Amino acid sequence: MFDATTGWYSWAGVSLAAAGLLAVTFGLPTAPPPDVRATATAVDGVADSDYAGRATIDIYATQFRLTPLGLSVITDNGRAHATFDAGPIVPVSDGPLRAVLDGADPRRVFEGPTRFALAVEQARSRTTRWQPAPDSLSARQLTWGETRVTLVG
């Protein structure tokens, strides 16, 4: 049977195991990780279109990072990343390309297709950083001259 010494060690061992299990349980996330794949799929839909088009996609994140190849987000429930299947996009934050993303005619914003193409290449080559996430992202696919792009920001 049990004597007093064996019972005490058993009780302490079971208590420590229960405390460890409780700590693991409280450490688990209470919600699923962010669904950034749905956002990337919506951007791909705009980019893959045969026609010029626009879309606004709601995102639920505290921070995000947009690169020509993908989108990463951080929420209270973790991090997530998705790549764009339609190829590289052009991340836009401000400047003349932002005006075009917001709906302006590129012919009124840039002096010609060559200047537009140069702005696109500069935007693609910028190093992107984590930044506070907006409530939504805009995506616009358009062609001017020889430049066919999908602007996202």
Predicted TM-score (pTM) of this structure: 0.78
pLDDT at residue number 58: 92
Q: What is the chain written as a DSSP string? A: ---HHHHHHHHHHHHHHHHHHHHHHHHS-SSPPP-HHHHHHHHHHHHT-SS-EEEEEE---SEEEE-SSEEEEEETTEEEEEE-TT---EE--SSHHHHHHTT--HHHHSSSHHHHHHHHHHHHHSPP--EE--SEEEEEEEEETTEEEEEE-
Higher pLDDT, 6 or 138: 138
pLDDT at 4 over 60: no
pLDDT at 22 over 70: no
Q: Give me the residue spans of the domains in the chain.
A: 1-30, 36-152
pLDDT at 40 over 80: yes
pLDDT in tens, 5-14: 666 666 667 6
